[in-house]
């Protein structure tokens, strides 16, 4: 049974109905506030964003929190239908899998900061509904992301061993299996209970995996005190970095297939969201790694080197091109990659890895672009659809992983501004 305010709801239908009404009420109050929108012009048939002020600055922490609550409140009552998504809607609706799990990763960060109890209660409600299980292929990195939200709920809300049980068993089984397959992504497939993955995906052979899996492993070590989960994550993260990180470009290939692929303008393809998964994933992993752990230095160096490169690739409008090296030749904004980068930059500022003098403006421009992509009702637009490479995007395109990334970015910016306000500097 779930308590919601002063009432109790004994059925899923009643809870959804109340959540929808509650979110609608919040949105109505928020709609009166002005919200910048992406203005467009036609240039060679493409829409170009022109939305960044000459001197970007963050709004107050209160306003940042209001902004991210508005987007979360738009998304929550739509999670079970996703009627606005046309491409791969069925995949997006799959419980416990990566698309949904990215949203919950952002929602838990919002839940930590918001006085609204709905977010924590919703996470607990879904965890119980899913019996705290991982996705359908527990050894597959994408299906391990939801564990990070479960572990957070265990640490912050309810220390019930059942919450961790399925995750521990799955991770113990992975350690015991000791997968040693090569990290090259080939046509060879594994079929498990009707689900297909590439053979190398028993390990972390694609860039996205560094966001999806390692933080859950490091978090489990923190929650249980058992170092074997962190030890495994260190070993596999290092292997993936060695294989997919390009030392010259300071960027990550999405997977081995892209090492010799060129984009529309002859540029080497580095997919923004793929690189964003890594940049944000490094930040999320380091949240659980002690600063005196000598193995952390590798991640810090890669993170800082990536930040320097990514800063140079940010477009005038505050976004990053879907093919990063296409830069201004690719005029459309895209918000999922931009949100992941903005989260990473804000996290770096908050944790002393990036200097404000060098990276504050980059972060602020990214945050401005993201908020200009939020529709008046709270829908986040300009989110590239599910894929593995640069593609197309439009103002109305939205996806829940984009919302999750937006919530992550906003939570870090909220922390940044709150700290400044508390110190009386701004």
Which residues does the annotation mark as catalytic? 208
Q: Are 374 and 70 in contact (CB under 8 A)?
A: yes
Token pair for 11? 């059925």
C-alpha dihedral over 92, 97, 100, 101, to 10 degrees? -160
- The residues, ordered by sequence, that sit 6+ positions from 9 with a Cβ below 8 Å of its Cβ are 1, 2, 15, 18
The total number of residues shown for the chain amounts to 426
Which of 62, 72, 76 lies closest to 33, judged by CA?
62
Q: Are 129 and 104 in contact (CB under 8 A)?
A: no
Query: Any idea what the Cα angle at residue 92 is, between residues 177 and 80, rounded to 5°?
Result: 120
How far is the C-alpha of 76 from the C-alpha of 323, rounded, in Å? 31
Q: Are 148 and 181 in contact (CB under 8 A)?
A: no
Q: Are 333 and 37 in contact (CB under 8 A)?
A: no
């Amino acid at each position: 049974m779930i308590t919601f305010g002063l009432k109790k709801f004994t059925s899923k239908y009643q809870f959804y109905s109340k959540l929808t009404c509650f979110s609608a009420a919040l949105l109505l109050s928020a709609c009166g506030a002005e919200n910048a929108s992406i203005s467009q012009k036609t240039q060679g048939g493409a829409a170009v964003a022109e939305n960044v002020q000459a001197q970007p600055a963050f709004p107050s922490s209160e306003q940042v929190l209001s902004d991210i609550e508005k987007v979360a409140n738009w998304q929550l009552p739509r999670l079970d239908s996703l009627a606005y998504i046309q491409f791969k809607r069925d995949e997006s609706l799959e419980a416990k899998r990566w698309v949904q799990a990215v949203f919950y990763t952002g929602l838990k960060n919002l839940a930590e900061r918001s006085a609204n109890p709905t977010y924590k209660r919703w996470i607990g409600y879904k965890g119980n509904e899913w019996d705290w299980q991982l996705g359908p292929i527990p050894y597959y990195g994408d299906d391990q992301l939801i564990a990070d939200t479960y572990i957070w709920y265990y640490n912050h809300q309810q220390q019930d061993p059942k919450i961790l049980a399925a995750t521990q068993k799955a991770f113990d089984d992975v350690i015991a299996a000791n997968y040693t397959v090569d990290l090259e992504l080939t046509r060879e497939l594994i079929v498990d209970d009707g689900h297909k993955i590439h053979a190398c995906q028993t390990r972390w052979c694609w860039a996205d995996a560094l966001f999806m899996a390692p933080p859950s492993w490091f978090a489990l070590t923190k929650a249980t005190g058992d170092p074997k989960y962190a030890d495994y994550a260190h070993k596999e993260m290092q292997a993936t970095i060695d294989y997919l990180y390009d030392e010259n470009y300071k960027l990550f290939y999405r997977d081995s297939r892209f090492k010799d692929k060129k984009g529309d303008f002859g540029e080497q393809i580095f997919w923004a969201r793929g690189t964003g998964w890594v940049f944000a994933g490094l930040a999320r992993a380091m949240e659980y790694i002690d600063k005196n752990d000598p193995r952390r230095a590798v991640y810090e160096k890669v993170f800082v080197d990536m930040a320097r490169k990514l800063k140079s690739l940010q477009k005038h409008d505050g976004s990053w091109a879907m093919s990063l090296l296409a830069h201004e030749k690719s005029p459309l904004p895209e918000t999922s990659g931009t949100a992941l980068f903005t989260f990473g930059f804000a996290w770096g500022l908050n944790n002393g890895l990036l200097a404000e003098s060098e990276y504050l403006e980059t972060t602020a421009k990214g945050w401005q672009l993201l908020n200009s992509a939020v529709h008046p009702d709270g829908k986040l637009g300009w989110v590239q659809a599910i894929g593995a490479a640069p593609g197309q995007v439009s103002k109305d395109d939205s996806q829940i992983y984009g919302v999750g990334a937006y919530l992550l970015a906003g939570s870090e910016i909220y922390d940044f501004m709150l700290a400044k306000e508390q110190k009386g500097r701004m």
